[in-house]
């Protein structure tokens, strides 16, 4: 029987690979500080009554396409809007293809794990709770960015309540 050992690119001596990891962490390629502030999502305020008590982040590329689309990006549990945007590369895609982004963010005061509360009926029904907050964010984004209402799409991690949320937030 083969005995598996962990892969160690620099052998068993951590003093050889730890400086490499420190250098990578400090390099501009891996640093948020190196990003142009205009390429980061901005927090929006005054988008409605916000009964779900969510935070609203938006990103508008320097050049919007004609009849611009809006992509609504919902993060998963334990994530936040900025981290999901950065990890998935949404703002880079928005720059390349000329669409705007809406990134609602859950607050830990609403859910300690940072999950959207789709499992609670008061947040998955039309015109209530988090569903209404997201609809209000969409309306604000449509107005601010001149979004084509026929070009609003969404991305979120898989959820058993996906169809309920789709109906409550996105369907007219």
DSSP H helices, the chain, are 14-26, 81-88, 90-97, 121-124, 129-145, 162-165
Identify which of 109, 138, 133, 114 has the alpha carbon closest to the alpha carbon of residue 122. Answer: 133
Domain ranges of the chain: 41-170
Distance CA 87, CA 128 (A): 30
Nearest 5 degrees, angle CA 162-CA 168-CA 169?
A: 85
Helix (H, G, I), strand (E, B) or coil at 59: strand
pLDDT band of residue 39 (cuts 50, 70, 90) is confident
Label each residue of 14-52 as H, E or C. HHHHHHHHHHHHHCHHHCHHHCCHHHCCEEECCCCCCCC
pLDDT tens, 48-99? 999 999 999 999 999 999 999 999 999 888 999 999 999 889 999 999 999 9
Q: What is the fold of 41-170?
A: Rossmann fold (3.40.50)
Give CA 129 to chain center in angstroms. 19
Give CA 133 to chain center in angstroms. 15
Q: Computed over its alpha carbons, how large is the radius of gyration of the chain? A: 20
pLDDT tens, 116-157? 888 887 777 778 899 899 999 999 999 999 999 999 988 866
pTM: 0.73
| Tokens standing for residue 146 | 């001149």
Helix (H, G, I), strand (E, B) or coil at 108: coil
């Amino acid at each position: 029987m083969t005995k598996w050992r962990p892969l160690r690119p620099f052998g068993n001596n951590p003093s050889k690979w730890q400086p490499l990891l420190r250098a990578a962490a400090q390099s501009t390629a891996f640093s948020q500080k190196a990003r142009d502030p205009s390429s980061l999502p901005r927090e929006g305020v005054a988008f409605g009554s916000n009964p779900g008590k969510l935070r609203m982040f938006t990103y508008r590329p320097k050049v919007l396409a004609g009849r611009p689309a809006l992509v609504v990006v919902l993060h998963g549990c334990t994530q936040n809007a900025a981290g999901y945007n950065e990890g998935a590369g949404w703002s880079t895609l928005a720059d390349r293809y000329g669409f705007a982004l809406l990134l609602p963010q859950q607050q830990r005061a609403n859910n300690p794990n940072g999950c959207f509360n789709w499992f609670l009926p008061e947040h998955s029904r039309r015109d209530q709770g988090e569903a209404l907050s997201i609809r209000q964010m969409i309306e604000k984004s449509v107005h601010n960015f001149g979004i084509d209402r026929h070009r609003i799409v969404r991305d979120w991690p898989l959820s058993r309540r996906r169809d309920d949320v789709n109906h409550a937030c996105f369907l007219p």
